[in-house]
């Protein structure tokens, strides 16, 4: 079978890559060992940047309809149990509340799309259905990837079906989205570097029909998103998108202990079923390379993080959207040799920052956990003092896990071969996001005078030169792009509010909504700029 791109692994990252490529008309084959998606919790939140990406793929509304209802609170609570007053409650807006804040925002600080809670066992079948409906995408379920052979003109991949029948796929490129134990990465001989097997926990998935509707129980916490347990073995419980399924992560040694932990957390006898329980390991690992030759890696195949902070799958979706437009441009003939080479240069630095952000969040969790005193559960002055002390510490430390908007929206590519690398630039913040159009950054969301979002005016199959002054001649740059066969739109939006936030008259934006160049006038060598940002530069 011949195609253009072979994708190994049909998790959210591989599916996003397939949908993005297929939406551009690029033929690809998605190879997945499982016959159907598994009902396992894994990830449970698409962050704001991921939802912006899904919006550009036309999927945001569908994902929200399948996920947690928009009016459910997103609070984080530290508790003794769900029948006791919380030790600390950190309030965060529901999706509907966050959307209302965005509608009122005019300073570029908020994302166009708020986060969305959706469990992987809901998201994965949704994305799979979308992928299978695209004419350019062929999904081979129940098929095991065995090995690949790279040739001068492409890649051969050997696969086998459930009956053991072996066949060969041929494509121009292969992408391993096959997880932390990636067979593709191992064949390339690429090592994971960092801290492995930091800790081992068990994860249990529970179905409890009545729990959400019973909240608050007595004086216990009101509905929220995460419940972190203070006292006893470390444990935290996460509400899944149905509000009927709950996951518990805890340092317990058996399935029976996990059941007892769930019963201890909810604090009242309610009927429930434990659907799944297994051990998992915490890792902070980064691949030394993101591919080789015609073979690339994305998602957990190149970065493994602790779920604290919620950056793992979301970073993988960022990998997919970066790689998709570069593969498409190359296969369509207008992307230069430097375009695909920039994938590792850009995304590995993000992977490194995400590993650091996950470490930072995890250390925050451990910091307040270490302050739990034995008397914290006592109905005594000493117990009250212990709870007050813990709340004071956790009010600082737990926020490190839940306030990551800078890591989500504020990442920018530094020293990329396909952007205008201006020396300096704003600091890379984890907790705060300050809008900027510094080359390499994501274009900040802004509302236009007609009420539309500027992101919706940018096509994902081409570059866009935005003129917020409304007085520049884009002809030389249009000619330079045309000479390379590369697509460029010019968007003239004379708007003083945009000019304040975007800081320059002219902003050149890539298909992935990252800024490639900015200035108050076009450079005299417009051809050099066009060549650089499309991968044709030296």
Two tokens, residue 37:
């998606």
How far, in Å, CA of 398 to CA of 369, rounded? 10
Q: Is the dihedral of CA 449, 452, 455, 457 positive or negative?
A: negative
Where in the chain are the domains? 5-70+115-193+286-358, 410-533
Burial 248-265 (b: 16+ CB within 10 A, else e): bbbebeeeebbbebbebb
- The residues facing 29 across adjacent strands are 6, 138
DSSP string, 228-262: EE-SSS-EEEEE-TTSSEEEEEE--SSHHHHHHHH
Phi/psi region, residue 123 (left: phi>0; alpha: psi -120 to 50; beta: rest), is alpha
pTM to 2 decimal places: 0.97
Two tokens, residue 409:
């929206």
How far, in Å, CA of 387 to CA of 9, rounded? 46
Residues 6+ apart with CB under 8 A from 328: 21, 24, 26, 335, 461
CB atoms near residue 420 (< 10 Å): 18
Question: What CA–CA distances, in Å, run from 93 to 44, 72, 73, 115, 304?
Answer: 17, 9, 6, 10, 28
Residue with tokens 């062929």: 138
Q: Do 5-70+115-193+286-358 and 410-533 share a fold?
A: no
**Angle CA(140)–CA(143)–CA(147) in degrees, nearest 5?**
110
CB atoms near residue 404 (< 10 Å): 27
DSSP string, 8-47: E--SHHHHHHHHHHHHTT--EEEEESSSS--------EE-
**Angle CA(415)–CA(418)–CA(421) in degrees, nearest 5?**
40
List per-residue pLDDT tens for the chain, 538 residues long. 899 999 999 999 999 999 999 999 999 999 999 999 999 888 889 999 999 999 999 999 999 999 999 999 999 999 999 999 999 999 999 999 999 999 999 999 999 999 999 999 999 999 999 999 999 999 999 999 999 999 989 999 999 998 999 999 999 999 999 999 999 999 999 999 999 999 999 999 999 999 999 999 999 999 999 999 999 899 999 999 999 999 999 999 999 999 999 999 999 999 999 999 999 999 999 999 999 999 999 999 999 999 988 899 999 999 999 999 999 999 999 999 999 999 999 999 999 999 999 999 999 999 999 999 999 999 999 999 999 999 999 999 999 999 999 999 999 999 999 999 999 999 999 999 999 999 999 999 999 999 999 999 999 999 999 999 999 999 999 999 999 999 999 999 999 999 999 999 999 999 999 999 999 999 999 999 999 999 998 5
Fold observed for domain 5-70+115-193+286-358: FAD/NAD(P)-binding domain (3.50.50)
Instruction: Specify the CATH architecture of the domain 410-533.
Output: 3-Layer(aba) Sandwich (3.40)
């Amino acid at each position: 079978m011949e195609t253009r791109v072979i994708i190994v692994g049909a998790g959210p990252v591989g599916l996003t890559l397939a949908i993005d490529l297929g939406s551009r008309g690029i033929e690809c084959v998605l190879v997945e060992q499982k016959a159907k998606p598994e009902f396992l919790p894994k990830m449970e939140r698409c962050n704001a940047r991921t939802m912006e990406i899904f919006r550009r793929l036309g999927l945001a509304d569908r994902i929200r309809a399948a996920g947690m209802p928009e009016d459910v609170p997103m609070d984080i609570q530290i508790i003794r149990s769900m029948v006791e007053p919380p030790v600390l409650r950190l309030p965060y807006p529901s999706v509907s509340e966050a959307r209302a804040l965005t509608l009122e925002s005019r300073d570029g600080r908020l994302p166009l799309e708020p986060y969305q809670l959706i469990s992987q066992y809901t998201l994965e079948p949704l994305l799979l259905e979308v992928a299978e409906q695209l004419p350019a995408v062929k999904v081979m379920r129940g098929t095991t990837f065995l090995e690949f052979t790279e040739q001068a003109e492409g890649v051969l991949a050997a696969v086998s079906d459930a009956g053991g029948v072996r066949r060969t796929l041929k494509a121009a490129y292969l992408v391993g989205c096959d997880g932390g134990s990636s067979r593709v990465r191992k064949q390339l001989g690429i090592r994971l570097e960092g801290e492995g097997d930091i800790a081992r926990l068990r994860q249990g998935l529970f179905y409890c029909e009545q729990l959400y509707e019973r909240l608050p129980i007595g004086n216990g916490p009101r509905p929220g998103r995460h419940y972190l347990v203070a006292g006893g073995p470390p444990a935290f419980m996460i509400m899944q998108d149905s509000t009927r399924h709950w996951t518990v992560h805890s340092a317990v040694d058996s399935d029976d202990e996990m059941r007892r932990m769930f019963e201890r957390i909810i604090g009242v006898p309610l009927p429930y079923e434990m659907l799944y329980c297994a051990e998992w390991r915490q890792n902070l690992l980064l691949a030394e390379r993101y591919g080789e030759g015609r073979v690339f890696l994305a998602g957990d195949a190149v970065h493994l993080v602790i779920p604290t902070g919620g950056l793992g799958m979301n970073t993988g979706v960022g990998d997919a959207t970066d790689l998709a437009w570069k593969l498409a441009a190359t296969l369509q003939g207008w992307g230069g040799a430097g375009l695909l080479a920039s994938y590792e240069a850009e995304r590995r630095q993000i992977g490194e920052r995400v590993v650091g952000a996950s470490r930072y969040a995890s250390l925050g969790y451990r910091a307040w956990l270490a302050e739990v005193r034995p008397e914290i559960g006592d109905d005594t002055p000493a117990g009250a003092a212990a709870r007050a002390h813990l709340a004071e510490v956790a009010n600082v430390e737990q926020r490190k896990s839940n306030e990551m908007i800078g890591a989500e929206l504020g990442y920018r590519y530094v020293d990329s071969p396909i952007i205008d690398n201006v020396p300096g630039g704003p600091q890379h913040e984890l907790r705060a996001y300050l809008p900027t159009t510094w080359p390499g950054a994501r274009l900040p969301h802004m509302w236009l005078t007609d009420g539309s979002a500027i992101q919706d005016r940018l096509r994902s199959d081409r570059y866009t030169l935005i003129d917020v002054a409304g007085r520049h001649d884009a002809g030389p740059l249009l000619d330079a792009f045309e000479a390379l066969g590369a697509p460029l739109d010019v968007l003239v939006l004379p708007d003083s509010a945009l000019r304040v936030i975007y800081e320059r008259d002219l902003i050149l934006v890539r298909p992935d909504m990252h800024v490639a160049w900015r200035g108050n006038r076009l450079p005299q060598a417009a051809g050099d700029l066009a060549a650089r940002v499309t991968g044709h530069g030296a």
